[in-house]
Chains A and B, each alone.
Chain A
Amino acid sequence: MYRGQSGMWSWLFHRITGLGVLFFLLIHIVDITLAGFGPTVYDDGIKIFSLGIVRVLSLALIASVLYHACNGLRILIIDFWPAGHKYQRQMFFAVVALSIAGFIPMAFFVVAPIFGRCPGAPNTCAPFI
């Protein structure tokens, strides 16, 4: 294993999160397709997203989307701003900090129903199965 620094990790996380998001997209295509079979099939189908284990997987999705988006901006800045390469390491830490900052509140809303709390959206809160 090559002992790369932050740049190598930023790329590796970008790859892994990118593949993760792509995988979710495939699932999402399936769940949206259920709408073609009528509202009951769809409603029953997406109940799966209320399962405790799926909520935990959703956390991985949120983290992936946030990191991939922020690091994508970092790469754009490196590509287009001639001085961008000088700040690549600082920008990596900014990407991680931003991702965490965005993750915490979103994770709260996703995970709270597992503990029987439904902040903000009581009607979407299926009980923990």
Chain B
Amino acid sequence: MSTATRTPAAARRSGADLLAVAIKVKRYQPDRSDKPYWQEFQLQVEPKDRLVDALNQIKWEQDGTLTFRRSCLHGVCGSDAMRVNGRNRLACKLLMKDVGTRITIEPMLGFPVIRDLVVDMDPFFAKYEKVKPFLINDEPAPAAERLQSAEERARYDDTTKCILCGACTGSCPSVWANRDWVGPASIVNAHRFIFDSRDRAAGERLRILGDRNGVWRCRTIFNCTEACPRGIHVTDAIEEVKRAIMYGSTETE
């Protein structure tokens, strides 16, 4: 364990090159007020602190009621997606030196807000389950493993990287307008199995995504691609699924 993580935050923040930042948070505390309100926090951070460190600092030293999700702190669990200066970002993947000294943080659009920056992810995961995001293959299993060539694996490599943070879905105007539409994250995870040579249920998934709340509500806006903290080419994945539905085949590209 590195000593940095054990040093108390206050001691760590004594150096000369500290940044003074103002963080404006859109807060919602249903037990105090029915309406969301803005609150600004002033604090000193190290340039190489992440935004999530700054939020922790507020929570631990200024206002314990500030509520947000975070878990891994390393861009893997996908729990701290939020709207930072107008764009969906993971708070643990942003360095303070890169976000400026006046920062505005809001919960993601397109999700019901539970408290402060915590949004209700249940509808998101319900839609995720709808596309059957697991390997389906009823053929008798071989003795060892279902083999796949490097090329076959590469076909869907990009969409294996999803951490289900919801940044793409929350950035999508089609989602804001219609909460029933399946949304980019579900399509990314459907893509991951549709183009997997070991899977046998591509047809079923393409049927699910071919209905009126499936891929066709995508208007190629590209907000999702820009928002994805994993650099997944989300719009491209959606377009590939659209073409697979249209051509009736996953073998056309």
Interface residues of A (CB under 8 A from B): 1-8, 10-11, 75, 78-80, 82, 84-86, 88
Contact = CB atoms under 8 A, between A and B. Distances in A.
Interface residues of B, number: 22
16 contacts: A2-B86, A2-B173, A4-B171, A4-B221, A4-B223, A5-B226, A7-B220, A7-B221, A7-B222, A7-B223, A8-B222, A8-B223, A11-B173, A79-B242, A82-B240, A85-B225
Given A7-B220, A11-B221, A78-B239, A2 B87 contact: yes
A85 B233 contact: yes
A116 B209 CA distance: 58
Interface in B49-94: 83, 85-87
Contacts of B109: 2
A5 B220 CA distance: 12
| Chain B binding surface SS class | mixed
Across the A-B interface, give the 10 residue pairs with the lowest CB-CB distance, nearest first: A7-B222, A3-B86, A85-B236, A11-B221, A4-B223, A7-B221, A82-B253, A3-B87, A78-B220, A11-B219
Contact of A79 (B86, B233, B239): B239
Contacts of B173: 2, 4, 8, 11
Contacts of B87: 2-3
A82 B236 CA distance: 8
B86 A1 contact: yes
Contacts of A3: 85-87
Nearest to B240: A82
A11 B171 CA distance: 14
A69 B223 CA distance: 22
A47 B220 CA distance: 41
A88 B224 CA distance: 14
B86 A5 contact: no
Contacts of A5: 222-223, 226
Nearest to B219: A11
A1 B87 CA distance: 9
B77 to A, nearest CB: 24
A85 B239 contact: yes
Contacts of A85: 220, 222, 225, 233, 235-236, 239
A6 B222 CA distance: 8
B85 to A, nearest CB: 7
Nearest to B110: A2
A2 B167 CA distance: 12
Given A7-B222, A85-B233, 13 more contacts: A2-B173, A2-B223, A5-B222, A5-B223, A7-B223, A8-B173, A11-B219, A11-B221, A78-B239, A84-B239, A85-B220, A85-B239, A88-B222
Contacts of A82: 239-240, 243, 253
A75 B86 CA distance: 25
Contact of B226 (A4, A11, A75, A84): A4
Contacts of A80: 243
Contacts of B253: 82
A127 B95 CA distance: 63
B222 A2 contact: no
Contacts of B223: 2, 4-5, 7-8
B187 to A, nearest CB: 14
A127 to B, nearest CB: 44
